[in-house]
Amino acid sequence: MKTPKTIPNVRFEPETGCEILQFFTDFESGLLIVITNLIDQKQGEDFGNGARGIITKQYVIDPKTQEILTPEIWKGYFSYEPVEIFSEDGLYKLVRQRIHEVQKNTDLWQEEIREIVSGKLISSSKSVAFHEKKQENLLERRKKQEQQEKEWSKKRKNEPKQFCGHCEKEVAYNARYPKYLCSECCSKLTDSEGRTVVFSNTGFMGTGCQGYYKNTEAQELYNSTICYIEKEKFVADEEKFGGIVIQPCGFYEE
């Protein structure tokens, strides 16, 4: 998506060396929110290892007067009092409050969910308050996540059970690899002499399979896909959609 350079019907010029990154109308206040960033990102904050932070700046504009508002003025458009919201089952209370973040010159939503009886903190978050569309609060997001987990759990119950090809611990169902090893068993793999080995993809897109001796300084290669747990023999292979799968030799898929 191309970065917009101008805002229709609004007289706004970014500071020298900056350009408009994003703009939108805040759904709650109707104020215009403009985000700018440096054109030359090499001037951004250096985090080391070649990584640099993208420096942005926010402006809050009255679309009627086209004036850039200070926090003292835009605060008049909002309530900064804490609001309590209770879950439908009466077990949890959400305390939600709009706060001003001085360092970033923006407003945030500060949210906490607590058990009503014990007062125990269940979850908390801070998020940007200015948005083009109404956002779900923390309690709504939590409810949606619980529903998704229930649906996933129900789906898992309807799936055939599958077990690790070595220790027989239950693992996620995968019809393509009916006897794949669990992560704990994969950590026990060795060569025929008992040296611990690990396997990883060689291609950027999750292709290839290369073995290495674990905890060697120069990543010493293990040039075989055959591996062992004690005397039991297994084979490593690239997984169909990226990753590595380990199975007993009799279940190797060509």
Percent of the chain with pLDDT over 70: 89
Mean predicted confidence (pLDDT) in 14-35 = 93
Mean predicted confidence (pLDDT) in 57-71 = 95
Evaluate if residue 44 carries a pLDDT over 60.
no
pLDDT for 42: 61
Give the tens place of pLDDT for each residue, 91-114: 999 999 999 999 888 999 999 999
Give the tens place of pLDDT for each residue, 154-187: 777 777 889 999 999 999 889 899 999 999 999 9
The C-alpha R_g of the chain, in whole angstroms, comes to 27
Sign of CA dihedral 227, 232, 238, 244: negative
Sign of CA dihedral 16, 22, 26, 32: positive
CA 158 to each of CA 140, 154, 176, 179, 194: distance values in angstroms, whole numbers, following the listed order = 27, 7, 18, 19, 40
Percent of the chain with pLDDT over 90: 63
Q: For residue 43, name the pLDDT band (cuts at 50, 70, 90).
A: low
Distance CA 133, CA 37 (A): 22
What is the chain's mean pLDDT, rounded?
Answer: 87
Give the tens place of pLDDT for each residue, 115-156: 999 999 999 999 999 999 999 999 999 999 889 888 877 777
